[in-house]
Amino acid sequence: MKRLFPLTLLVVAAMFVYAPFAILGAPQESTMGLVQKIFYFHVPSWMAMFLAVGICGVSSAVYLFNRNRSADRLAAAAAELGVVFGLIGLVTGPLWARKAWGVWWQWDARLTSTLVLWLIFQAYLVLRRYGGPGSDRLAAGVAVFGMANVPFVYWSVNMWRTIHPTTSVVPTLLPGMRGPFWFCATAFVLLFALLLAARTRLETRRAELEDLYLALDE
Residues 6+ positions from 46 with CB-CB distance below 8 Å: 85, 86, 89, 114
What binding mask, one character per residue, do residues 116-145 give for another protein by CB under 8 A, x or -?
A: x--xx--x--xx--xxx-xx-xx-xxx-xx
Cα–Cα distance for residue pair 170/92, rounded to 1 Å: 18
**Whole-number minimum distance, CB 80 to another protein, in Å?**
8
33 three-class SS = strand
Cα–Cα distance for residue pair 216/158, rounded to 1 Å: 55
The enclosing H or E element of 191 equals helix 175-217
**Whole-number minimum distance, CB 172 to another protein, in Å?**
21
What binding mask, one character per residue, do residues 38-67 give for another protein by CB under 8 A, x or -?
A: x--xx--x------------------xx--
Among 47, 156, 178, 186, binds another protein (CB under 8 A): 156
**CA torsion angle for 16, 22, 28, 29 (degrees, to 10)?**
-60
Distance of CA 71 to the CA centre of its chain: 18
Q: Which of residues 169-188 bind another protein (CB under 8 A)?
A: none
The CA distances from residue 217 to 46, 65, 208, 209, 212, in Å, are 45, 30, 14, 12, 9
What binding mask, one character per residue, do residues 80-119 give for another protein by CB under 8 A, x or -?
A: ----x--xx--xx--xx-xx----------------x--x
Query: 92 or 170: whose CB is closer to another protein?
Result: 92
Cα–Cα distance for residue pair 87/119, rounded to 1 Å: 10
In 67-174, alpha helices (H) = 69-100, 109-130, 135-160
What binding mask, one character per residue, do residues 186-205 give for another protein by CB under 8 A, x or -?
A: -----x---x--xx-xx--x
What binding mask, one character per residue, do residues 22-41 give for another protein by CB under 8 A, x or -?
A: --x-------xxxx-xx--x
Segment lying near another protein (by CB under 8 A), choices 49-57, 148-156, 163-171, 172-180: 148-156
CA-based R_g, the chain, Å: 19
- Which stretches of 69-153 are assigned E, i.e. beta strand? none
Q: Does 70 bind another protein (CB under 8 A)?
A: no
Kindly state the number of chain residues that form the binding site for another protein, as judged by CB under 8 A. 75
**Whole-number minimum distance, CB 20 to another protein, in Å?**
4
Query: 64 or 170: whose CB is closer to another protein?
Result: 64
